[in-house]
Amino acid sequence: MRLTGVLHGVGLGPGAPDLITLRAARLIEGAAVVAYPALAGGPSFARAIASDLIPAGAREIVMDVPMTVARGPAQAAYDRGAAEIAAELEAGRDVVCLCEGDPFFYGSFMYLFARLSPRFRVEVVPGVTSLTACAVRAGRPLVARNEALVVLPGPLADEALEARIGAAEAVVIMKVGRHLPRLRALLDRLGLMDRAVYVERASLPEELVLPLSEAPEVAPYFSMILVTKGADPWP
């Protein structure tokens, strides 16, 4: 009887290659098989972060994920990726799946985890999230002492956002992208513009940090708004 391999879901952090953890780096450097998502027909952000660590001879399983509003095409891509990964695991080989940020924090790794964890051993390595990477770039502590934090996806409707923004000292809005003009109008209406910072591609060479009032009209998917409403946190 042959032992099956282990699937490692490895968080890579927000984008700077040296924000990878020692554990993740060791796993990637020793990998015989790596897997990662890519924008269908385009580049893979995950692979780019880890590129210096991937061994030359490793097999690479690329999951070409279409960014469509309908979920069917993306799920079919994960079906195919899971089948390829399962074949490796069944052959006794470990697979290292590269995940932007943290696999369990808005990560697409959940789709592979759902498909494969019932049948195979899955180990997840947490990563630095864009939450704190953006706080660093904004130059202010995200939460302190007994402050509450709310993390909200930008695609939520205004009413859902407004109800939740009121309940915390710190608010992070993720996946801003094309929702930027609407989110800016909402925060302006709530009187929070002067506490809001826009961060795009935190930790990467092309990162952008601006007061929200000066943010560009067009935001990439990997952009975020931080609002710290608390009283001045300095003692």
**Cβ 86 to its own copies shortest distance, Å:** 16
| Euclidean distance between CA atoms 92 and 155, whole angstroms | 41
**Whose CA is closest to 105, among 83, 82, 131, 87?**
131
Q: Does 37 engage in binding with its own copies (CB under 8 A)?
A: no
d(CA 54, CA 209): 30
- The alpha carbons of the chain give a radius of gyration, in whole angstroms, of 19
CA distance 96 to 85: 9
**Which is it for strands 121-125 and 6-11: parallel, antiparallel or unpaired?**
parallel
When binding is defined by CB under 8 A, the residue of 31, 65, 99, 152 that contacts its own copies is 152
Q: For its own copies, which residue of 55, 66, 92, 153 counts as binding (CB under 8 A)?
A: 153
Structure tokens at 178: 């094309």
C-alpha 170/C-alpha 226 separation (Å) is 7
Nearest distance in Å: CB 78, its own copies: 8
Calpha distance 94→122 (Å, rounded): 10
Residues whose CB falls within 8 Å of the CB of residue 41, separated by 6 or more in sequence, listed in order: 64
Instruction: Choose which of 4, 6, 29, 126 interacts with its own copies (CB under 8 A).
Output: 126
Among 22, 69, 70, 231, binds its own copies (CB under 8 A): 22
Selected from 135, 183, 197, 215, the binder of its own copies by CB under 8 A is 135
Site for its own copies in 95-124 (CB under 8 A): 102-107, 109-111, 113-114, 124
The H-or-E segment that residue 123 falls in is: strand 121-125
Closer residue to its own copies (CB): 5 or 15: 15
Residue 30 C-beta: closest distance to its own copies, Å: 13
Q: What is the pattern of x (binds its own copies, CB under 8 A) and - over residues 181-200?
A: --------------------
Q: Give contact residues for its own copies (rule: CB under 8 A).
A: 11, 13-14, 16-23, 25-26, 71, 75, 78, 102-107, 109-111, 113-114, 124-129, 131-133, 135-136, 140-153, 155-156, 160, 163-164, 167-168, 203, 233-235
